[in-house]
Structure 1
Amino acid sequence: MIQNWRHLPAPARPIAAATTAAVTAARAHDPEALTAATAGLAALDPAQTGLILGTSVRLLLERAHPDGLDGDAVRAVLERCVRSAAAWHPATDPHVVLHLLTGALGVLDEDAADVPKPDARARHAALLLADLLGGSPVEEILTAALSEIERTQLND
């Protein structure tokens, strides 16, 4: 399904489009397409991109673990994602995936010295989302994440 994202606020449209392209490339195991898509994603506003991608990851984790997420579950997600991605994308870095997971769960120090660069975060976010989504459409989780962000901002 091709999504034009016209229903979204203007700042969210390029993030949703770039994320969709990056996840599609990750699902296809296409390193060149992934590099191109994540370059566009990494060039966007890091705060907005991080909020949307982090919320998407958190929602997927909550859906997969409705009774709560513990350390073993996070470790299992980390291992599965890294193994799956490393099979076709040798530059997969477990540290970056862990950074994304802890950030999505709100237990990350963004001021730490070892924060991955935007291109690495974008690439690994696409790999993580592709893994967590399984066969589900990326559009659904992005729409859910943006709705939750909007609700949170309206209630603050």
Structure 2
Amino acid sequence: MWPTHWPTIAREIAHATETALSAARADDEPAFADAVSALVELPYEQVTVVHSGMMRELLEELHPDGLAGEDVQAVFERCARGSVQATPDALVAVLTGALGVTDPDAPKARPEQYLTAGIVVLADLLATRKVEPRQYIRRAVGEIEREQTVEMP
């Protein structure tokens, strides 16, 4: 399944993320709610770092010539109209957070809201790109692993 050399938490994040994405893509609301609950139980910052890495990669692939405001707005609109509901504030926070743009004065979404919005955005980007999540999860966790093992000069 997931690489055995990954720490247990990384494997749990990968599994819960894949489960949540599968439920979101299948419009299975009970399974989605259970999967988000499992994600909420994991270390929040680690989960969001994995999800942000996946989002950035997908956005770069979908917009190789650069990402415009209209592109982000299109993602927001598709996600806001989707069958799995995420709060608009959380969708904005997820999208801007993945792009490294944050407003310290913006209202903070609760972890469950933020993670729900993150999965909704990821499911949309994966469907738009017509790809499965596994390779993106692997690369996002692998990038974190690489960053943590590189020695600082």
TM-score (normalised: structure 2): 0.88
One-letter amino acid matched to 2:55: V
SS at match of 2:86: coil
Paired position in structure 1 for 2:70:
72
User: Partners in 2 of 1:81 and 1:66 — Cα distance?
Assistant: 21
Cα distance, 1:51 vs structure 2: 0.7
Cα distance, 1:92 vs structure 2: 2.6
- Please say if 1:106 is aligned against 2:100: yes
User: Partners in 1 of 2:135 and 2:125 — Cα distance?
Assistant: 13
- Give the superposed CA RMSD: 1.7
Paired position in structure 1 for 2:122:
129
Cα distance, 1:20 vs structure 2: 0.5
Cα distance, 1:43 vs structure 2: 1.4
Q: Percent same amino acid among aligned pairs?
A: 39
Paired position in structure 1 for 2:139:
144
Structure 1 segments unaligned to the other structure (5+ residues): none
Deviant stretches of 4+, over 4 Å: none
Pairing partner for 1:34 from 10, 32, 35 = 32
- Checking the alignment, whether the CA contact within 8 Å between 2:53 and 2:140 is kept in structure 1 is yes
SS at match of 1:81: helix
- Checking the alignment, whether the CA contact within 8 Å between 1:5 and 1:16 is kept in structure 2 is no
User: Partners in 2 of 1:116 and 1:5 — Cα distance?
Assistant: 32
Structure 2 segments unaligned to the other structure (5+ residues): none
Cα distance, 1:22 vs structure 2: 0.4
The number of equivalent residue pairs is 149
- Checking the alignment, whether the CA contact within 8 Å between 1:100 and 1:121 is kept in structure 2 is yes
- Please say if 1:119 is aligned against 2:112: yes
TM-score (normalised: structure 1): 0.86
User: Partners in 1 of 2:147 and 2:65 — Cα distance?
Assistant: 22
Paired position in structure 2 for 1:25:
23
